[in-house]
Amino acid sequence: MPNLKKRYVPFTYKMMIPYLLLVLLTDVLIGYISYTMLTQSRTEMAETNIRTGMEQARYNIQYQMDEIQRMSDTLFGSVAFQRALQKKGEPLDIYLTMKDEIIPQIVSPLQLFGNNIRFMLYTPNSDMIIINGDNLEEPIKQSDYYILPLRDIEATDWYQLYKNSERNNLWVQIDTDKKLDHISHIRKLVSYSDYGAIIGYVRITVPLDALFGNLATFPVEEGITVRLIHQLTGERVYQRGPAELAEQAELGEQTGGSDAYLRLHEPISGTDFAIETLVPKAYLTKDAGKLQRVILGVCAISFIGMTLIGFMVARLNGRKMTRIVMLVRSFQEGNFQKRIRFSGNDEFVQIAEAFNMMAMNIQELIDSVYLQGIQKKQAELEALQAQINPHFLYNTLSTINSLANLGEIGKVTEMVQGLSRFYRLTLNQGNVHIHLGKELEQVETYLEIQRVKYADAFTVQVDVESEILDYQVIKLILQPFVENVFKHAWFGETIAIRITGRRINNDVELKIIDNGVGMRSEQVRLLMTGPSQTGGYGVRNVDERIKLRYGEAYGVQIASIYGGGTTVRLLLPAGHGDAADTPELPNMPY
């Protein structure tokens, strides 16, 4: 399978993952705590409001009950009222007594009380005039009063229950009170002269709606149930709100499950009754959904805002990291010239300064090593070049000496002139490189010197592509091999030399071919490895100079067959020179 490149994810973006997880965890934690606290606060506030309403209702109910209590206390403590109530005599006297003593004390508090009530006085005095009002089986329409004989209630259960009871000032539902949603205050009237004698009963009846009218302020439409219960019997005397919740509450008490509602209890002092409120949990947490949505929205906005901030910070730092990575990659590719600069005074600035200093030191080290290498290489080339010149000069001077001894003055002059032209080309104004055309011209100069010595005993053929004549080559790479042909390859009376040159892709191939005696493979090996008796000094010199200048991929190769001639192959990199200096191909004989 192909080697797939891993997807690059910036480090700063990777750091966004734990950052976002931390922000999300923080938002969730803050949201949960806020939701819990707000819900609890809302529940406590709702419960407090309901308790406050219950206390206010209790105060109002207590006030009305106390007012009614004061009515009975006034009658109970009035000696004149008691005397009038016990008076015997003629009907006229009784009438006047009722008109002056009894009725005013009954009517006066009725007029002062704010709600409609029904006042009933039961008296055992048979002389007392009986006053009947509306039908007692009907609800109270307006405040009225009754004076009734005690015998009317002697057969009732409630009278039998309370006549011998030590309790007094009772609030109870008797007769038709339950059916009519009334409640009655009952009080015994005893003689001031004989506390054991019962001189009558006072019953003040009030509608529950009037007595508990303040309970209407409770939001029963939202499921809250308010009721008046008897604390001793648990009997439900009065109720406002949905009956379903009351039934669920009673069922919950029986089954032990009451988590669906909150029960609040407020006793009414001085009575056996208490105000009880059943509040569904849904009412206490009715704003929970809204609070939840608000908190979720705030947390979402917070998370998005922190994400954007984190992304911006990661992007800014990511740009710095990217510049550092690009700098490191340029170092990897060998480019130590780049530098980075960051503003501020943080870790990135210190990293940039450290990288810049490291790059400068590395570049200085590379320049130093490279310069030393170039200098060493140049010194080696110059040394090799210096070895060529004395070698050729020695051979040529030996030939001139021989011609002078033979008296060949013309040939000596011709060789000296050729030698002068040869060294002029060799010097090449101090340059190491020379155009290939100039190198061939130098070979021609050498051959002209040899013609003075050998006349027409050799032939030379040059077959070089014209487009490579302006290519740069190292000077003195052809002449040593042509010289070796004359020194070591001559066999018989004549010899033929062929010089070729062509471009192969990005390289230049030069060949020197002769039909001389040739060499054995051992001789070829010795010729390439060092000086020998066969005169391989110049061959090794050329090969070393080429490799030193262009690398190990280039150099000299020799192929030879003993008795069949020798081919020397030179491989050089193709390199253009100045086309304007391209020389013409030398005019050489075949």
Check residue 238 and give its pLDDT.
80
Task: Give the count of beta carbons closer than 10 Å to the beta carbon of residue 450.
Answer: 20
**Structural tokens at position 121:** 């006085």
How do strand 458-464 and strand 495-504 relate by DSSP bridges?
A: parallel
What ranges do the domains of the chain cover?
A: 59-211, 218-283, 287-332, 370-581
Q: Which class is domain 370-581? A: alpha beta
Note the pLDDT tens digit of each residue in 331-371: 777 777 777 777 767 777 787 788 788 878 887 887 787 77
**Structural tokens at position 34:** 């806020």
Query: Greatest CA span in the chain, whole angstroms?
Result: 206
Query: Strand, coil or helix: what is 348?
Result: helix
Task: Give the count of beta carbons closer than 10 Å to the beta carbon of residue 445.
Answer: 21
Check residue 579 and give its pLDDT.
37
Q: Would you place residue 569 in the very low, low, confident or very high pLDDT band (cuts 50, 70, 90)?
A: very high
Check residue 580 and give its pLDDT.
35
Best CA proximity match to 388, nearest among 485, 460, 484, 473: 484
Note the pLDDT tens digit of each residue in 372-391: 766 666 666 566 555 555 65
Calpha distance 561→521 (Å, rounded): 8
Calpha distance 142→150 (Å, rounded): 24
Mean pLDDT of the chain: 79
Check residue 388 and give its pLDDT.
54
Note the pLDDT tens digit of each residue in 101-146: 888 888 888 887 878 888 999 999 888 888 876 677 888 888 888 8
Q: Would you place residue 589 in the very low, low, confident or very high pLDDT band (cuts 50, 70, 90)?
A: very low
Task: Give the count of beta carbons closer than 10 Å to the beta carbon of residue 495.
Answer: 20
Q: Do residues 128 and 94 make contact, with C-beta atoms less than 8 angstroms apart?
A: yes
Calpha distance 54→265 (Å, rounded): 9
- Strand locations in 268-320 (E): 273-280
Check residue 334 and give its pLDDT.
72
Q: Do residues 21 and 303 make contact, with C-beta atoms less than 8 angstroms apart?
A: no
Q: Do residues 500 and 467 make contact, with C-beta atoms less than 8 angstroms apart?
A: no
Calpha distance 344→237 (Å, rounded): 81
Q: Do residues 574 and 510 make contact, with C-beta atoms less than 8 angstroms apart?
A: no
* Strands of the sheet with 555-561, listed across from one edge: 458-464, 495-504, 507-514, 565-573, 555-561
CA distances from 304 to 28, 338, 376, 579 (A): 13, 39, 66, 69
Task: Give the count of beta carbons closer than 10 Å to the beta carbon of residue 104.
Answer: 11
By the 10 Å C-beta count (0-12 exposed, 13-18 middle, 19+ buried), 171 is classed as buried
Distance linking the first and last C-alpha atoms of the chain: 62
Contacts of 65 (CB under 8 A, 6+ apart): 171, 185, 211, 268, 270, 271
